[in-house]
Amino acid sequence: GDSVTQMEGPVTLSEEAFLTINCTYTATGYPSLFWYVQYPGEGLQLLLKATKADDKGSNKGFEATYRKETTSFHLEKGSVQVSDSAVYFCALSDNAGANNLFFGTGTRLTVIP
């Protein structure tokens, strides 16, 4: 079945450090891939998405590229800020009709000044 494996956390970085959160997936067919973010006290927000191989999703300085050959969708940011502290979830939608999402376990990021 479909699944997402996400880098274990928590991750603690200093401000302006480079961030990578690894995500790999297993899916039949051609899924769409997403990164969601949950800031403290808030709901899940869509951060970025990619719907086909080699697409790059980007938002707020974050990027992720849909790599079909390695079944990966790693999240990167060149210079993190304290305000990026949150829990990040990788997810896929199998596009088979129901469009329900399969999530990873989440990675808690803490950025310290």
Partner 1 sequence: EAGVTQFPSHSVIEKGQTVTLRCDPISGHDNLYWYRRVMGKEIKFLLHFVKESKQDESGMPNNRFLAERTGGTYSTLKVQPAELEDSGVYFCASSPAGTGGGYTFGSGTRLTVV
Residues lying near partner 1 in the complex (CB under 8 A): 4, 6, 32, 34, 36, 41-46, 49, 51, 89, 91, 93, 95, 98-106
Query: Shortest distance, CB of residue 46 to partner 1, whole angstroms?
Result: 6
Please, which residue, 70 or 99, has the CB nearer to partner 1?
99
Q: Running DSSP on this structure, what letter comes out for residue 60?
A: T
Query: Shortest distance, CB of residue 4 to partner 1, whole angstroms?
Result: 7
Please, what's the b/e burial string for 57-92 (b: 16 or more CB within 10 A of its CB; e: otherwise)?
A: beeeebbbbbbeeebbbbbebeebeeebbbbbbbbb
Query: Shortest distance, CB of residue 19 to partner 1, whole angstroms?
Result: 21
Please, which residue, 36 or 74, has the CB nearer to partner 1?
36
Residue 22 CA to residue 32 CA, distance in Å, equals 17
